[in-house]
Structure 1
């Protein structure tokens, strides 16, 4: 067994269930993660469909969305998702254009907390001056904030040409305010709509994947709906939490050498409990072999190199730390994805398809690493 996986096995075997269990390993790690959760800021006029958009993205009910927000400023609120093990946050501000509402303070406070801005506008409402002004203000003070335009209510303008003209009018106004081309998507957000209707949500998730892969990993729908993938869909947020915690904790020198393998061992233990499969030495060895000797060796070797790189003056505190956090996030997520597959097959008494397991690991690693800053 590879030395790094041997270390994980020892942590699993010695664990008494205390210490690194969800929702956090240590208070310091959990606190650090809470400050690094990606935040999606929704901005738009009253009735633009911001709450419906959150429902469509997360699958939460109207009541869950309505009751889930907690105030973070006088007129803005934050929703953690998922609630029990947050991996991301939605930031919602009061509807622009409301009588007596000056959004300046909210805009200034929220732009510093968010990682991406979703500007939501109804296609049947061409008057979007307040939203344009807000976009211009955000772009001026935070020019690197990614902005995606959500043209909501495509069903309200069934005529294709009318819909095109309405979208172009608003899109051009927003792009003029931002002084750049902006990504956009058209959405249909109706309750109980047919499954075959293109709601635009998948396209929006694709845009988010270009900006914040960890968010897209949570929100994306699985293309293949077999039993194993359905089972993992319910665990994805849990695995992402551990991956985010590992990435957040591995920025500082030395600290990650302890917290990352501890978090990964806790994640494996949590997955084992979920599938009712005990991690024995024989199973850990089988899993390591199935994952592939090359992968296992690289897993441990790259980790050791990253820890040393963080000790290099200047570089280790900037680029080295950032790279280490990114790789620890991706490696932990990929490890969890592969372990979930292994445990599911073991639970069902099925043979381990090593090719599929390795493909899942490689794909998860690639998706989690891509574009993560």
Structure 2
């Protein structure tokens, strides 16, 4: 695409007519790939935030078509007069992501990071155990040294005659305290107690530093497009309400990308299983069989065959094949312990069947929030990634680890 072009992204005739009325000279584009723009280009439209950010990142200028729409005007085409009435105007925006995704260059780097994470976590654990044990021993040593020192300084003890009054007792105690026995034995015990105190301070300082400066959670984030496809996926399946289930028949003959698209106007509308299909789409590689372990609830268990038929038909167009299995008995998706145990059992079954952890991806999108949390937590400090699909259909892969990491890194 030539540098310096002005592109108007949109499919609505009213918006194009409004732009022409305003004297905006631009090339109409129904769909824009951010990779096609460059420095000097100007893009006009109502694009999603992440697409606008990608355009700005490539050095192009993004101009947003702003409309102050009331609720009853949303979801329908507007003519130029209506757009004027709703305050249509163009405003430039510099859109940048709050955080920059970190991509992994290759599996070698990924495995190296995983090894360093395991080594760091192991060293931290060993260091903590050593320091706790040392603290117990040094505390006992210090107490014994103090007891021996007191015995050497006051061999007769600090006994006070029972018949002594308060004033007399206080005087006797003061005299005894200020007249300890100072000799070689008491000096040796004093040196021993001082040495124990030094080690005690060092040990507890080490525990303090370990607790405050290491063992913080670090989660690495990467775009799905930067990672290789996995040979096995563990995911949950939510139940579809009857209207959505009935509309699945309208997907007959539709392609995978069309069914996965975020399009409210599609005959099938939006339905929960789209997120499952979007997650699986990343792993569909021609000629490969992808194993899918599906966690089901009591409500979604009877619908598993329908999901398997839909997913299998759509996967076939890529040349891949899905081997979909139910992972254990139906679950209560609100029971954390049961969900965590089911995910662990599915992973163990895959490992038993010859899949390495690096071959498995745990999808956390479908099901309840409890399912998402349990599925993500179980991947911590393992060579397991978990995925999440956004409402816009983008797949994110996460690698959660708990390595030694100094604060601020």
Same fold, TM exceeding 0.5?
A: no
Q: TM-score, normalised by structure 2?
A: 0.22
Q: Which has the higher contact order (CA 8 A, sep 6+)?
A: 1
Select the structure that is richer in strand: 2
TM-score by length of 1: 0.24
Bigger radius of gyration among the two: 2
